[in-house]
Structure 1
């Protein structure tokens, strides 16, 4: 038994293990409770198509998420498309991010306290917790950037191509998962500059050309995504407002999902920057966390398209976690150093430990009221897309041959048709009213609306009608030609049910 126990003990002693375990537990808690919201529905409707249909769709929309959709296509083929199955990859990815955060902190600060503390702190921000259980690419990108930071540090210490290779893979995966993540190169360049300054005059000057080459190699696989995504940016990003200077100042609160949690991280970061130890490494991390944010803000301010959104820059939070862990480690080391051999060193070490634990616990305590907010049924969508509620109402009153009409065209962004369809049982399949082509045939996320409503009404006697918003006049929320046709053929709705973001009505020609 003993030889078998030793490998387990060594594994549990690794600084990355417990952060990864804790992040898995935090991300997995009530994983299936929040309903899928429209972005997650987009993941489902794309990932579950045939490979050919998926590739054709990417030529028209969502190419920037193409690599993630391909990964999810493979995943759902094996594990299915339940809510839990769709979200598990994000849980695992964020657990990987926590592991790389711990490894990065250990390499930069040389302290187990800093390493384990940094990894555990990553699980604290509510936004990290939320996107750890969302079927989108943000957790994967966060993990890839955290890995790239760790591999970059290894390459800087010994710049062989064998060490540059994993950095290139991680950066390529991050860029293909979300193009905005490549803004981290600005922070990495600053990290490189401070590394060369710290190691002078023995600094390896080859880094000055090897780093740009590694970045260029990482960018090559991303170029097709850039070319396709640039043609689709107006359709997908036009809704993001141009950021203000005030928005930049308060961005930390949005990025973390909690002002108190962000300021607790900032306090720990100040300790890393102020206390003796490894201040230069702390500055490297601060630049790694902040320069991508400032860069994206400037591009969004000066360009035609804005990219300044909290979840787009979620990948910067691991650098903050490493920096905060460094602050905890610096505090522990500073108080421990005050212990004198003749004056109860154990007591001083105990005090250092208590202070460090208290500061590490501060963000967690501040985050506790926020964490349940990302675990209830409508937490991912703010109850604005009650797809499950609509599906339950339709299923309860469904008759064979019923039709369904849902927002399409200019309102297809709401993903109401595929969202409700996801939650309908397999034996409940209403006739698609006002649909010219299915989403698969249209090579889009939602079905294509019929230009002549009368041609696509069908002969159904009852229609389940979905409109956006809560209203007592659902026909008034429809396109004029469709509403007029339904009034003529069906009259007033038989019953109207506002669901909180959607209104469901039943039109019955026989009543």
Structure 2
């Protein structure tokens, strides 16, 4: 071998080593991808199984309205959910409305949140802690539950998780673009769910703490400006939502401390066992001499919003509900991930993740059952109607003050074949016509029924002999008088009765 050839060997080896190092570094920068893919797999699995429940039916109904009808709806109710409805309106128009398609956006949102959980844990506590935090997040049963629901909570979790990571980046280097990105995440969180904006209190305290330690005034200025500008677009929505809050949240009552400890904490994680494991692991970083400041900061982001919403809910309007505070789970998982990776020997952290998987397995299976979200088999009820349908048939679904929230009419619209066209005989004006979730009922049921020969009546419960007991007296009287012949079929949680003249 010549001298020049001999010299070329180490040069080629160095080039090969540099290429390998670059490839390794590139893979290392994508560590957040693995928890995101894990979340995508877990969140997507079984999303085709649970029957649409009442809240999802509202989202489906809103998504199927025209743009004008949708904005008319938001003027009267659900304005604070409007961005999600609008997004789903276009999503359904493009991709259809199968169960998997309807729930795919929230699965993707939770996958994005898992990536930000990983990045946040890595920035505060190191690579292994970040990876553990992201995987823990993906294994929490409540995260899977709302990844598979056609509501906007997954997008709230994504926005707050992104805002937390973007804040940490801006605190490291206070640049306008970083603060602008943070402001966009804050605005998104407010648009998807107004209550989530309480996280700004914890973020503000973290900024004050960093400023007190470093005396860097751009931190205060950057946070105040970005948060202030971010909230401006949310103000009109907040004012409109405030006018609607009595109707939307009148079913919630002021929470007690006993409710927080006995019920709320377990529901927040979707599993009593998993919630206890996360809490124990989350406490560990607070005991570290080194890194305790970061643990306190992320602990504030996890706990302070819960405390603030609990205090707010002691007033005339309550907001304290596990799914409204689901956005705190990423911070809890960051703390727990740090605590898990601090355990020794080094094989304990992987074992801990396996333990969380096993402890949450029962609840993970439960949320994927067909009737996990609701006990009503509206799909089977629709099958009964479709089998016995004749053109000209009418339908009556229990509504009014007793059961409007069940959205049985929307369930039938979703599950019935397009060839089955039923007249809603007790409706005077449709929900779309009056810009509401629920329609305007007839003042004179007999006149509205007219000459309809057969009517399908849906009743919650199992009372086959008395299917009209839950209906308001004028409705029950009219149906009793006009339709003497009845054939009832019981399905899970519902009685389907064919009334004939």
TM over 0.5: yes
In structure 2, the residue matched to 1:347 is none
State the 1:279 CA deviation: 1.4
| Separation in structure 1 between the aligned mates of residue 237 and residue 410 of structure 2, nearest angstrom | 25
The answer on whether the counterparts of 1:11 and 1:17 sit within 8 Å (CA) in structure 2 is no
Counterparts of 1:104-143 in structure 2 under 5 Å?
A: 104-109=120-125, 111-143=126-158
State the 1:275 CA deviation: 3.4
In structure 2, the residue matched to 1:398 is 389
Per the alignment, in what secondary structure is the counterpart of residue 475 of structure 1?
Answer: coil
Which of 327, 331, 341 is the matching residue for 1:329? 341
Q: How many residues align?
A: 481
After superposition, the Cα gap between the structure-2 partners of 1:9 and 1:466, relative to the gap in structure 1 and judged at 3 Å, is farther
Per the alignment, in what secondary structure is the counterpart of residue 489 of structure 2?
Answer: strand
In structure 1, the residue matched to 2:453 is 461
In structure 2, the residue matched to 1:58 is 74
| Separation in structure 2 between the aligned mates of residue 71 and residue 83 of structure 1, nearest angstrom | 16
Counterparts of 1:35-54 in structure 2 under 5 Å?
A: 35-54=51-70
| Separation in structure 2 between the aligned mates of residue 204 and residue 437 of structure 1, nearest angstrom | 61
The answer on whether the counterparts of 2:211 and 2:220 sit within 8 Å (CA) in structure 1 is no
State the 1:11 CA deviation: 4.3
TM-score normalised by the chain length of structure 1: 0.91
In structure 1, the residue matched to 2:472 is 479
Counterparts of 1:4-43 in structure 2 under 5 Å?
A: 10-11=26-27, 14-43=30-59
In structure 2, the residue matched to 1:266 is 279
Which of 199, 210, 224 is the matching residue for 1:212? 224
Q: Which runs of 4+ in 1 moved over 3 A?
A: 2-9
CA displacement 1:198-256 (0-9 Å, x = unmatched): xx2x3312323332222221111111221111111111100012100112234321210
Range that drifts further, 88-97 or 240-249: 240-249
Per the alignment, in what secondary structure is the counterpart of residue 497 of structure 1?
Answer: strand
Range that drifts further, 357-366 or 155-164: 357-366
Counterparts of 1:149-160 in structure 2 under 5 Å?
A: 149-160=164-175
Range that drifts further, 63-72 or 434-443: 434-443
Per the alignment, in what secondary structure is the counterpart of residue 123 of structure 1?
Answer: helix
Per the alignment, in what secondary structure is the counterpart of residue 199 of structure 2?
Answer: helix
Range that drifts further, 228-237 or 141-150: 228-237
Per the alignment, in what secondary structure is the counterpart of residue 232 of structure 2?
Answer: helix
Matched, 1:283 2:276: no
Q: Unpaired runs of 5+ in structure 2?
A: 1-15
State the 1:77 CA deviation: 1.4
Per the alignment, in what secondary structure is the counterpart of residue 217 of structure 2?
Answer: coil
State the 1:361 CA deviation: 2.7
Per the alignment, in what secondary structure is the counterpart of residue 223 of structure 1?
Answer: helix
Q: CA RMSD in A?
A: 1.9
The answer on whether the counterparts of 1:190 and 1:288 sit within 8 Å (CA) in structure 2 is no
| Separation in structure 1 between the aligned mates of residue 53 and residue 257 of structure 2, nearest angstrom | 30
In structure 2, the residue matched to 1:428 is 420
| Separation in structure 1 between the aligned mates of residue 445 and residue 50 of structure 2, nearest angstrom | 35
After superposition, the Cα gap between the structure-2 partners of 1:153 and 1:426, relative to the gap in structure 1 and judged at 3 Å, is same
After superposition, the Cα gap between the structure-2 partners of 1:8 and 1:278, relative to the gap in structure 1 and judged at 3 Å, is closer
Matched, 1:361 2:373: no
TM-score normalised by the chain length of structure 2: 0.92
The answer on whether the counterparts of 2:120 and 2:334 sit within 8 Å (CA) in structure 1 is yes
Which of 431, 434, 437 is the matching residue for 1:442? 434
State the 1:193 CA deviation: 3.1
